[in-house]
């Protein structure tokens, strides 16, 4: 299945998150440690800012707060455990839209389309691979690292949404996470109910295509239209003349290491001709080669700079390179140039 451009959530000018996403985390900190006010103060957040679930807060503070919360509570898998208690209402109208969808596929398509209503700096999309249905999620801002808790929470919460809205006994085929394997990896496999691969180019839920396409209910189209209009107001979606660069960056985040990053393939995803895509990128002062290279350089810096660095062969695979030799050549070329951040 092709991912149409309207299913791709892009990074806004300022990365932010709705208070509604932060509230459950604050409740868990209060329950487990009683050090809520201390943590909030350390990250420049006031309790009064959480009174309105639609209040916008800097996402970088949320990500850092989540990491500190796991340390203070002594629960390394805090995010994943929190995700198992997630409910559609916790996502507001987006959660209700997920719950009212006729099947799992359409639920994740809608989640990908509207995720920026609650948080920015995010790339999310759906695609098919080897006969399976895949949902992909990743914070694209390289400065927000580490972010294990957000990644594990989001994947666990999404699995829980499927179980609560479609089938209580549902299990994914596989879970993929971008960070390196923690000591408590077995705990995560029990929580997700599936094998977990670490050190991937993004966070993904791999699902059975037949399960994803099974019809569970008839949707109320009138109610769906009302919810989508409300969510659209929250997203404040830009006009169709939006930056093609942002759309291509989002697709690179979803597909790198999964599909060839060619003009023809990405143009098809964006419902454009290859020539039109090249022209639009040129008008915006970039090329596909530059964007892919910048993204790979950012990922390589994370994976190779980590003290638990993965083998070169694994990093090469995640970055979409044929082998170690190609990766080494890229590393040498990057050293000769001034580094540039993705985005």
- Overall average pLDDT of the 274-290 stretch: 94
Return the pLDDT at 241. Answer: 46
- pLDDT tens sequence across 163-198: 999 999 999 999 999 999 999 999 999 999 999 999
Note whether 198 and 177 are within 8 A (CB). yes
Average pLDDT over residues 301-327: 79
As given in the structure block, the two tokens for residue 91 are 């996502």
Q: Above pLDDT 90, what percent of the chain?
A: 52
pLDDT classification of 14: cutoffs 50, 70, 90 = low
**340 is written with which tokens?**
């540039």
How many of the other CB atoms lie within 10 Å of CB of 185? 13
How many alpha carbons lie under 13 Å from residue 82 in its C-beta half-sphere? 27
Helix axes 148-165, 185-192, angle to 10 degrees: 20
User: CA dist 276 to 164, 263, 264, 271, 291, Å?
Assistant: 43, 10, 10, 10, 17
pLDDT greater at residue 20 or residue 11 = 20
Distance CA 146, CA 63 (A): 8
pLDDT for 308 equals 63
* The Cα angle at residue 124 between residues 259 and 66, in degrees rounded to 5: 125
Residues 27, 339: Cα–Cα separation, whole Å: 41
| Contact predicate 90/205, CB 8 Å | no
| Mean pLDDT, all residues of the chain | 87
pLDDT at residue 343 tops 70: no
Contacts 24+ apart (CB under 8 A), 225-232: 227/93, 227/96, 227/97, 227/100, 228/97, 228/114, 230/93, 231/93, 231/94, 231/97, 231/114, 231/117
- Per-residue confidence band for 233, with pLDDT thresholds at 50, 70 and 90: confident
Query: Looking at residue 143, what is its pLDDT?
Result: 82
Q: Which of 155, 147, 121, 153 is nearest to 16 (CA)?
A: 121
Q: Where are the alpha helices (DSSP H) in 236-318?
A: 244-255, 263-269, 274-283, 288-305, 312-318
Spatial CB neighbours of 261, under 8 Å, sequence gap ≥ 6: 252, 255, 288, 292, 320
Whether residue 36 contacts residue 300, with contact meaning beta carbons closer than 8 Å, is answered with no
CA distance 325 to 31: 51
């Amino acid at each position: 299945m092709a991912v149409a451009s309207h299913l791709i959530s892009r990074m806004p000018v300022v990365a932010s998150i709705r208070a509604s996403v932060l509230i459950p985390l604050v409740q868990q900190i209060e329950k487990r440690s009683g050090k809520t006010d201390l943590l909030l103060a350390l990250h420049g957040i006031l309790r009064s800012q959480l009174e309105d679930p639609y209040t916008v807060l800097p996402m970088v503070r949320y990500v850092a707060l989540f990491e500190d919360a796991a340390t203070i509570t002594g629960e390394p898998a805090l995010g994943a455990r929190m995700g198992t208690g997630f409910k559609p209402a916790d996502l507001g109208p987006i959660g209700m839209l997920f719950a009212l969808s006729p099947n799992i596929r359409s639920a994740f398509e809608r989640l990908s389309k509207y995720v920026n209503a609650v948080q920015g700096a995010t790339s999310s999309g759906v695609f098919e691979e080897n006969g399976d249905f895949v949902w992909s999620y990743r914070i694209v801002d390289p400065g927000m690292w580490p972010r294990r808790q957000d990644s594990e929470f989001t994947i666990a919460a999404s699995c829980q949404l499927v179980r609560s809205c479609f089938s209580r006994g549902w299990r994914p085929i596989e879970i993929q996470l971008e960070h390196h394997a923690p000591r408590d990896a077995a705990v995560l496999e029990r929580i997700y109910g599936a094998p977990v691969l670490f050190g991937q180019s993004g966070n993904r839920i791999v699902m059975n295509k037949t399960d994803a396409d099974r019809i569970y209910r008839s949707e109320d189209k009138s109610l769906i239209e009302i919810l989508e209009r409300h969510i659209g107001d929250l997203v404040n979606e830009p006009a169709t003349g939006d930056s093609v660069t942002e759309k291509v960056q989002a697709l690179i985040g979803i597909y790198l290491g999964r599909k060839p990053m060619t003009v023809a393939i990405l143009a098809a995803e964006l419902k454009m001709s290859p020539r039109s895509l090249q022209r639009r990128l040129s008008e915006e002062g970039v090329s596909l080669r530059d964007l892919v290279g910048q993204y790979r350089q950012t990922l390589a810096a994370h994976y190779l700079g980590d003290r638990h660095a993965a083998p070169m062969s694994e990093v090469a695979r995640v970055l979409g390179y044929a082998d170690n030799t190609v990766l080494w050549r890229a590393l040498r070329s990057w050293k000769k140039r001034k580094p540039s951040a993705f985005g």
